């Protein structure tokens, strides 16, 4: 992975007031220590959002807190369900005894597994949510109004919730994650193909009585059986992908971004700055770790306002602001299936250049930012992150603590946001 030139950390720190850096660092520690286990739709998450609302009321002109309903367990719970389906399909293939019903059931299980993977993980779309308990989460939105009529609007955002630990990120960083993720996807594809071939053979041989298939299938059955048995360890392993006993602090992912977004408005209020016609917003979403559910709920609830042709509106999401050398623009998200607005991406790039850093676009990665929830609805959004896609050991593990943060990265990211707001106020975003 190519890396951009290393920025001047000293300048990054001096441009952002030391008091603001301390505010961000101390605030992150307070949230992580006071509101532990902020899983999507839990009381600690809601309490943290109430705390943020109170913080923003001291510097914003208007602050709102909006509840929304979701089924938070669906997004990652599809993994153990898929594993059970794959193991069942393998058993049906090997021990089905030529039964048409069992062969068709095997296809049904593998098709359902594939659909869960595509909708819940790849496309970040609700699919099996209705099977899980409903919870209530919150979004917090704060506004710094302009001096005159609102003609432009720029919103900076992060998310408040935390995640359960990723077992293989903790055990082996990128190597372990890659082996398990690609291995389990491969197992799903092999199981789907084997089940379909088996169903076609069984139906042809038993129902249509095509006897010529019998001799040809003997070798094929043995080959598929060997491949399916090799898939069993990955199916068992993916059951343990999430460690439900550990909820990470989420200091970097993503309280860091919350405090950056809040500090944009806080510094404007402290210095008495108002743009002439540009409104500055701060959106702190809930339940991002449940598949962008909070950002999606906010974008849908405010779609008319956000898409108003008379008010040019852009949303810039931030996530995991930890490594300066990895500051990158997220032009493509949701594992590469959603394209964010390239004009907003250029705005972030220009802001980065003004702060002395060249920010490339992220390479392909299995994940998403809140910006994609806006982009799915055709709203103008993009985002940037500062996390290595080598999956460092702190990512989604118990090491994501307030002691493992980079104040210079927070300072530079804040400077980029402030510069993006200035450029947008002056020039807009373009097409």
- Domain limits, the chain: 9-72+135-163+248-427, 76-130+169-243
Q: Is 152 helix (H, G, I), strand (E, B) or coil?
A: strand
Residues 6+ apart with CB under 8 A from 227: 190, 194
Reported as a pLDDT band with limits 50, 70 and 90, residue 126 is very high
pLDDT tens string 349-364: 999 999 999 999 998 8
On whether the CB atoms of residues 390 and 174 are closer than 8 A, the answer is yes
Reported as a pLDDT band with limits 50, 70 and 90, residue 98 is confident
Of 18, 21, 1, the residue nearest 259 (C-alpha): 21
Q: How far apart are CA 232 and CA 212, in angstroms?
A: 31
On whether the CB atoms of residues 173 and 399 are closer than 8 A, the answer is no
Angle between helices 18-34 and 407-427 (to 10 degrees): 110
pLDDT at residue 215 above 90? Answer: no
Backbone angles phi, psi at 298, to 5 degrees: -65, -45
Q: What pLDDT is attached to residue 205? A: 77
Q: How far is CA 406 from the centre of its chain?
A: 21
Of 72, 4, 63, the residue nearest 44 (C-alpha): 72
Reported as a pLDDT band with limits 50, 70 and 90, residue 173 is confident
Of 306, 297, 349, the residue nearest 327 (C-alpha): 349
On whether the CB atoms of residues 109 and 88 are closer than 8 A, the answer is yes
pLDDT tens string 303-339: 999 999 999 999 999 999 999 999 999 999 988 899 9
Question: What tokens appear for 126 in the block?
Answer: 């609700």
pTM: 0.93
Q: Which DSSP letter does residue 7 get?
A: P
Q: How far apart are CA 119 and CA 141, in angstroms?
A: 28
Q: Is 53 helix (H, G, I), strand (E, B) or coil?
A: helix
Q: How far apart are CA 298 and CA 52, in angstroms?
A: 17
CA distance to 5, 281, 358, 391, per residue, from 326 (Å): 10, 25, 11, 12
The 3 state secondary structure assigned to 251-284 is: HHHHHHHHHHHHHHHHHHHHHCCCCCCEEEEEEE
Q: What pLDDT is attached to residue 406? A: 96
Question: What tokens appear for 148 in the block?
Answer: 């005159």
For residues 79-102, give the mean pLDDT. Answer: 95
Q: What pLDDT is attached to residue 7? A: 58
The chain-wide mean pLDDT, for the chain, equals: 93
CA distance to 87, 239, 303, 401, per residue, from 393 (Å): 30, 20, 38, 12
CA distance to 175, 202, 420, 421, per residue, from 351 (Å): 34, 62, 5, 9
Burial 109-141 (b: 16+ CB within 10 A, else e): bbebbbebbebbbebbbbbbbeeeeebbbbbbb
Element of type H or E holding 239 = none
Please tell me the least confidently modeled range out of 199-208, 235-244, 249-258, 311-320: 199-208
pLDDT at residue 240 above 80? Answer: yes
pLDDT tens string 384-429: 999 987 778 899 999 999 999 999 999 999 999 999 999 999 999 9
Question: What tokens appear for 137 in the block?
Answer: 């989460």
Please tell me the least confidently modeled range out of 90-99, 199-208, 230-239, 378-387: 199-208
Burial 229-246 (b: 16+ CB within 10 A, else e): eebeebbebbbebbbeee
For residues 42-68, give the mean pLDDT. Answer: 98
Q: What pLDDT is attached to residue 1? A: 40
3-state class percentages of the chain: helix first, strand second, coil last, to nearest 5: 55, 15, 30
Q: What pLDDT is attached to residue 410? A: 97
**% residues pLDDT > 90 (the chain):** 84
pLDDT at residue 11 above 70? Answer: no
pLDDT at residue 5 above 50? Answer: no
pLDDT at residue 145 above 90? Answer: yes
Q: Which residue carries 């220009």 as its tokens?
A: 350
Q: How far apart are CA 308 and CA 310, in angstroms?
A: 5
Q: How far apart are CA 200 and CA 207, in angstroms?
A: 10
CATH for the stretch 9-72+135-163+248-427: 3.40.630.10
């Amino acid at each position: 992975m190519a890396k951009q030139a290393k920025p001047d950390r000293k300048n990054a720190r001096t441009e952002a007031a030391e008091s603001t850096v301390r505010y961000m660092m101390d605030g992150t520690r307070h949230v992580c220590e006071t509101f532990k286990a902020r899983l999507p739709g839990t009381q600690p998450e809601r309490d943290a959002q109430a705390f943020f609302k109170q913080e923003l009321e001291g510097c914003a002109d208007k602050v709102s807190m909006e509840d929304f309903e979701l089924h938070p367990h669906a997004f990652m719970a599809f993994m153990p369900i898929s594993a059970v389906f794959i193991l069942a399909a393998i058993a049906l293939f090997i021990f089905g005894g030529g039964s048409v019903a069992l062969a068709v059931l095997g296809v049904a299980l593998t098709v359902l597994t594939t659909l869960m993977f595509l909708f819940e993980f790849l496309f970040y779309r609700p699919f099996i949510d209705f099977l899980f308990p409903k919870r209530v989460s919150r979004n917090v939105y704060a506004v710094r109004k302009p001096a005159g009529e609102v003609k432009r609007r720029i919103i900076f955002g992060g998310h408040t919730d935390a995640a359960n630990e990723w077992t293989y990120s903790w055990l082996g960083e990128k190597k372990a994650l890659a082996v398990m993720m690609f291995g389990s996807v491969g197992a799903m594809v092999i199981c789907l193909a084997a089940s379909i071939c088996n169903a076609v053979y069984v139906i042809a041989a038993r129902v249509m009585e095509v006897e010529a298939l019998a001799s040809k299938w003997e070798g094929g059955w043995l080959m598929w059986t060997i491949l399916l048995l090799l898939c069993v360890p990955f199916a068992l392993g993916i059951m343990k992908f999430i460690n439900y006993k550990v909820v990470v602090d989420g200091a970097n992912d993503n309280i860091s971004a919350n405090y950056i977004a809040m500090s944009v408005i806080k510094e404007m209020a402290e210095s008495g700055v108002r743009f002439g016609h540009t409104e500055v917003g701060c959106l702190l979403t809930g339940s991002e770790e449940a598949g962008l559910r909070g950002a999606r709920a906010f974008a849908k609830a405010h779609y008319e306002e956000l898409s108003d042709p008379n008010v040019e509106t852009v949303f810039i999401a931030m996530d995991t602001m930890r490594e300066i050398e990895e500051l990158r623009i997220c032009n493509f998200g949701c594992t590469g299936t959603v394209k964010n607005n390239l004009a907003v991406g250029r705005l972030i790039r220009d802001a980065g250049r003004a702060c002395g850093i060249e920010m490339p676009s992220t390479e392909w990665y299995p994940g998403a930012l809140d910006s994609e929830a806006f982009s799915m609805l055709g709203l103008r959004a993009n985002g940037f992150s500062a996390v290595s896609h080598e999956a460092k050991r702190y990512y989604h593990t118990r090491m994501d603590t307030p002691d493992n943060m980079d104040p210079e990265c927070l300072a530079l990211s804040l400077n980029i946001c402030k510069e993006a707001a200035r450029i947008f106020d002056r020039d807009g975003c373009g097409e």
